[in-house]
Structure 1
Amino acid sequence: MSKTSVIAEQGKQEIVITRIFDAPRDLVFRTYTNPATVPDWWGPRNLKTTVDRMEVEKGGVWRYIHDDPDGNVHAHHGVYHEVAAPERIVNTYEYEGYPGSVGLVTTTFEELPGGKTKFTEVSLYPSVEVREGVLQSGMTEGAMELMDRLDELLAKLQSQ
C-alpha cells in the first residue's frame, strides 16, 4: 500500500494530497466518480456516507452526507467546473458546517507505468486562515484514511 502525502506549506493557501494507486487510471477515475462506490471510501470508516447528489459534468452539483454514531449529520457539497475523464476534475468544496469557506479543488489522475495511477489533489482556499481551519479540523487524518479506503476498494475491485 502506498503512503498518502499531505503537504500544506507555511503561509500558503493550498493543500496538496498525492497518492500512488496500484490500479489503472480508468479504474481509479471511475471509482472516484461513481455514486455507487463513493460511500465505500469517502470519509472516515466510523461515519456512514450517503451520496445525496453527484452530477459528474461541468456545472453539475455534488453533495455527500456523513452520519456519525451519535446521530449528527455532516454535509459537504460543491459544483463541478471541469470534468475531463479520466485525466482531471475541477470542483468546489464546502463543508456545510462552515459556510463560506469554499475551496477550489483540482484533481488529476496521471497514468504511470505498470498499471499504476498518480492521484494529485490541490485544494486552494480563499485565505491562509481558512486553510489553517481546514487543517485543524482533522482534514489530514481524514484524507489519509479516505485514501487508504480508496486503495482497499481498488484492490478489491481488481480481484473480482
Structure 2
Amino acid sequence: MSKTSIIAEEGKQEIVITRIFDAPCDLVFRTYTNAATIPDWWGPRSMKTTVDRMELKKGGVWRYVQQESNGNVHAHNGVYHEVAAPERIVNTYEYEGFPGSVGLVTTTFEETPEGKTKLTEISLYPSVEVREGVLQSGMTEGAKELMDRLDDLLIKLQSK
C-alpha cells in the first residue's frame, strides 16, 4: 500500500500530493532533480523514461519522453520558474498529448525532526475541468507508483 496522499477537493483547481521519505532532504532533492536518476523513478515501471532536456534553473526547460513496450510515446514538458535547492521548485507541467492544459507545480522539500523528508507537490490547473481531466487520466495511480519508485531508489542509494 502506498504511503502517498493525494487530495483533490471538489470544486478546486488543485491537486495536492504528499509523501514522507525516510531520507535526508538534500538526498531527496538531488535525486528528484538529477537527470541521471529521473529514468529510475519518474513514471510507471511499464514505460521507459528518457530525459530529453533538463535545465534546472529559472527559465530552464525540461522535457521527459516515455515509451511503452508497444512503441507508443508520451512526452511531458515545462519551464522552471524557481529552483531553490534543497527546499523548493516551481515549474509548469504539460502533457503533450493534451496541449494547452498547463499546470503550475510547486514542490517543497521539508526536513522533519526525525531526519526524514516531507515532499509536498501542489499542482494548480487553469480550471476545475482541466484538473478533473488530469485525475481521470489515471494520474492518481501513476503518481502513487512514481512516489513508490522514488522511495525504492532512495532506499537503494542510502544502502550504498
Common fold, TM-score beyond 0.5?
yes
1:70-96 deviation per Cα after TM superposition (whole angstroms, max 9, x unaligned): 100000000000000000000000000
Q: How does 1:111-126 map to 2 (within 5 A)?
A: 111-126=111-126
Letter in 1 for 2:146: L
Give me the identity figure in percent. 84
Distance 1:143 1:57, change over 3 A: same
Partner of 2:32: 32
Measured in 2, the distance between the counterparts of 1:2 and 1:30 equals 22
Cα deviation for residue 114 of structure 1 reads 2.0
Measured in 2, the distance between the counterparts of 1:112 and 1:9 equals 26
Structure 2 segments unaligned to the other structure (5+ residues): none
Structure 1 segments unaligned to the other structure (5+ residues): none
Measured in 2, the distance between the counterparts of 1:124 and 1:141 equals 19
Q: Does 1:14 align with 2:23?
A: no
What RMSD, in angstroms, separates the aligned Cα atoms of the two structures?
A: 0.9
Checking the alignment, whether the CA contact within 8 Å between 2:2 and 2:144 is kept in structure 1 is no
TM-score by length of 1: 0.99
Which contiguous aligned blocks of 4+ residues in structure 1 show a shift greater than 2 angstroms? none
Letter in 1 for 2:86: P
Measured in 2, the distance between the counterparts of 1:32 and 1:21 equals 12
Count of residue pairs the alignment pairs up: 160
Letter in 2 for 1:125: Y
